[in-house]
Each structure stands twice: as C-alpha cells, then as structure tokens.
Amino acid sequence: MVTLNDLARQHTPFGAAERAHLRRLVGSWGPLCDLGFADLLLLAPVDGPEGGKLVTLGQIRPATAQTLYLDDQVGQLVGMDKRPLVAAVLQAGETVEDSIDHRVLERRIRVTAIPVRFQGSVIAVVTREVRPTQGLSSSELERAYTDVFVRLSRMIADGTFPFPFEDAVTEESPRVGDGALVLESNTRVVYSSPNAVSALHRIGFHGRIADRRLEDLGFDGDVVDSAYRLQVPVIEEIERGDNVTILSRILPLIEAGAVTGALVLLRDVSDLRRRDRMLVSMDATIKEIHHRVKNNLQTVSSLLRLQGRRLEVPEAKMAIDESVRRIQSIAMIHEMLAKGGGDDVAFGDVVEPLMAMAESSLVSADQSIKFRLVGEGPTMSASTASSLAVVVTELLQNAIEHGYPAGSPGGSITVELVPSSTELRVRVHDDGVGVPEGFDVKNSSGLGLTIISALVSGELGGELEIRPASPTQRGTLAQVKVQLLDDNEG
C-alpha cells in the first residue's frame, strides 16, 4: 500500500519537515471532513519532469454525508489546467470557493480550495468537494458545524492546524458524529449536538447545557485550561462508576495567535472499557493459572527428589532424576507464560534454561562440557513448546550420557535452531564418541528415545533423525523437524 510519505518523496520536492506536517494533517483531518459534510482531498504540485501537474496525497470521506468518490483518488496525477481553483490557491495563497463541472464525476460540484501553509509557505491545497444541492442548511447543527469548519480551515491556511504536538488519533478517538460541543473563548458552550447531550446525560448532567462552562459539566478544569493555555488538543476520560466512561477530545480553535474557542468531541466508550477490563482480568487469570501449574509441577518435582534420596538402587534413582528433569522442562514453559502472559512462547528463550539445567544436573565435576546455542527460535504455542522442550531435554541428556561416558574429559554440545516460514529444525550436535555402528533410532528400546519418538511423531507431527555428525567430524547429530502452523491454521 502506497503511503503519503512515499508519494511525496516520489513526486514532490518536500523535505522531512514538510512531509511530517502533511502526515499530521491527514492523520487529524477527520473532524474537518465531518464538519464540512464533504469529501476532502489533499493535492500538491508535482516536481521534476512531470511539473505542471498535481498529485493527490490524501483523501477522506465524510461520516456525516454521502461521498462523491467511490474510487480511491490517492496517487492520481492531474494537470493544473484540470484543477484551476487549486492552481489559483497555490499562486495567491488565499482560500477560493466556486462551483465547477467535474469531468470525472460528470456533475457540477461545489469546491472550496484551502491553502496548506507551513513555515510561511503554501506547500499544498486541501479541497472540500460537495454537491451544490447540499448547500447550507437552516438547521442549527449544520450552521454550527459549518462555522467550526471555516475556523479550522483558516487555521490550515495560517499554519496552526494540524497541531504540532497532537497525540495520535486512534480508532477509539471520538468523531463529530459521536457528539460535539462548541465552546467560546471562556469555555462556555454555545452549541451541543444531540449525541453530545446524550453523552452528558450518561455522566449524570441533566440540566441546561447552553452557556454553561465546560468545568460545570463534569470536566476537569486543569485539562480544559491546558488545552486553552498550551493551544494543543487534550484527551480526557470521564468515569462514573464502573459502567460509564466518556472519552473527550478538546481541540482549541486559534485565530491570530489566540484561542477563540474550542471543539469538544465526545464518545461513549463504556462498552470498550468494559471489554478492556475483561481482557485484563482474563489475562491476569491466565497468568495465575500458569503460575499455579508451574508451582504444582515444582511441588511434584520436589516430592520426586525426596523419594529419590531414599532409593538405594542406582537404576531407580536415575529414573527418578530423569522424571524430575522432564517435569522441570514443562514447568519452565509455564513459568515463562506466567511472566509474559498470552498463549505463545519464543522457543529460543526456552532452550538456554534447558541447557543450563542439563549442565548443572548431568555434567560431572571432572568433565568440562561447553554448551552453545545458535540461531533464534520462532514463537509457538505453549503446547508445542512444552512437547519440544521435553524433546530437547532428552536429546541433551542422551548427548551428555552417551557422548561423554565416565572418564571422558568432555567436549562441546551445540543446539542449533533453524526456523523457516513453514518448519523448525532443532539440531543437537555433540563431539563425543558418536553412535555405535549400525545404530537405528527406530529399533532403539531406551526409554529416552522412546519418549522422544512418541512426542515427535505423535504430539508434534514431526520427524526425528539421529546419525553420526559427518565422515570428517566426531560425534552425533540429532535433528528434529517440526512443521509450524500459520496463525489461521489448526
């Protein structure tokens, strides 16, 4: 998708400051569009070989009226002769309004061309385009909205709109249709839309709104004062209990360097905030569940350790220790989920603690085995990560026990993560004694390899391969290949 920045770079001589000004304008001109009951286009003169033309850098359709344009106009080039009003504004630097015959729309439309001034120079033009039959209505709402549109247009023409430090407009930000108040310079209300009246009723104000100061309606006086004194938009949330939240956005109206009033947009976001609280509560609940699962697994692990200390048969003691490590590898996944929340785990963050656990519990004091992690693992579901963590734990255990038997000085073990868009390859390579001649993982009866095979083929739907590293290298290479599902699959 082409952006305003891309188009401006390609077709205009604008520097970073000019492009940033135009991006702020397009990012905040939603109220202007709705107040004007019209489509808005942002056009700029083209530089270079295509000089004499205009490029459309931005477009917005109104939520308060029917659009003229069904097709996207952004990126289109048109000759100056086809847009005489725009050409006149670029030359004279003054707002022009007239009715024209639009050749593309094949109808007569009313166009207001507004100069976009930045640091004293006109760099572009905003056009307000509407059917002449819509005209100016006698309704109080349209008179009030049109008046604010004219005042904002003058701010564009003198360079005070868009505001230089405005917070980013989000999907939650209130629009004109959600509710609007028009204020005088002393913050008294001169107009309130029906939806604004309803919003104020929601926060408990049921009296006469006209001529009341904004602070009298339940707004924070310091917030209102900041908008007027600093001449920047401010956002305030007004809460009444746990069930009512009104989001307000105060836009100061500036003329000749002084605030002459403000446009206050109101939106009832009670349902959105209720949903947010539910999501936060759900997230906290999920984290708590993972935390408790981790604690329970660690309790089981501790009980097994106590049981193992009472055993005198070496084989039984070894079996208990192996079970403890398997439980700990699963507990590690739940610990990460308890800290980070969500249902996904970055597998690369899991492998390093697994290697540290294997080193501390399996490597004897008279051996020196270095562990190394290569590559970054992808993010995967907790269930996949749990199964794969047990597999990696078993492969590390096999590499240490069979690659470096008692009396061996040690060596190095490398865990390599090789992700792609569709699969993850986990390779555990040691430089130990290697697998015996004729070894076949399918015919192995060891418990560890049986667990690995069952998890890889059953839980993970992957493939397992264990073979000599290479004809020229010592040791063993164990590789697990697991398919990665897209977010929309499975």
Residues 393 and 453 reside in one and the same domain: yes
Give the residue from 162, 118, 141, 107 showing the smallest Cα distance to 35: 141
Same domain for 288 and 190: no
420 and 401, same structural domain?
yes
> Does residue 125 contact residue 90 with C-beta atoms inside 8 Å?
yes
Asked, for residue 167, whether it belongs to a domain, the answer is no
Residue 23 DSSP symbol: H
Q: Is residue 351 a part of any domain in this protein?
A: no
Q: Among all chains, which residue has been given the structure tokens 């000749």? A: 256
Return d(Cα 112, Cα 102) in angstroms, integer: 13
Choose one of 287, 315, 342: the last residue of a domain: 342
Residues 231 and 276 in one domain: no
Residues 89 and 194 in one domain: no
Q: What is the pLDDT of residue 168?
A: 60
Domain for residue 441, yes or no?
yes
pTM of this prediction?
0.62
Say yes or no: 63 and 186 in one domain.
no
Per the structure, the complete domain to which residue 447 belongs is given by 358-490
Query: What are the C-alpha distances in Å from 129 to residues 23, 82, 116, 229, 375?
Result: 21, 15, 16, 34, 56
Please confirm whether the linkage preceding 162 is cis (ω < 30° from 0): yes
Q: Are residues 181 and 223 in the same domain?
A: yes
Distance of alpha carbon 287 from alpha carbon 281, whole angstroms = 10
Residues 234 and 281 in one domain: no
Task: Tell which residue, 396, 460, 405, 448, has the closest CA to residue 427.
Answer: 396
Largest CA distance in the chain: 99
In order, the DSSP letters of 403-457 are: HS-TT--EEEEEEEEEE-SSEEEEEEEE-SS-PPTT--GGG---HHHHHHHHIII
Same domain, 490 and 362: yes
Q: Give the C-alpha separation, 265 to 196, whole Å.
A: 8
Residues 437, 395 contacting (CB under 8 angstroms): no
Please give the Cα distance from 345 to 325 (Å, whole number). 20
Q: What is the pLDDT of residue 179?
A: 93
CA 196 to chain CA centroid, Å, is 30
The CA distance from 129 to 358, in Å, is 70
Per the structure, the count of domains in the chain is: 4
| 80 and 90 fall within a common domain | yes
| DSSP result, 201-240 | HHTT--S--TT-BGGGGT--HHHHHHHHHHTS-EEEEEEE
In a structure prediction context, what are the per-residue pLDDT tens digits for the chain, which is 490 residues long?
678 999 999 999 999 999 999 999 999 999 999 999 999 999 999 987 667 899 999 999 998 888 988 889 999 999 998 899 999 999 999 999 988 877 666 778 889 999 999 999 999 999 999 887 644 446 889 899 999 999 999 999 999 999 887 556 777 889 999 999 999 999 999 999 999 999 998 888 888 898 899 888 888 888 888 889 989 899 888 888 778 889 999 999 999 999 999 999 999 888 887 887 777 777 777 677 777 877 888 888 888 878 888 888 888 887 888 788 778 777 877 777 776 666 678 888 888 888 888 888 777 777 888 999 998 888 888 788 888 888 888 899 888 888 888 778 888 999 999 988 888 999 999 988 888 877 877 777 777 788 888 888 888 888 998 888 877 778 899 999 998 765 444 4
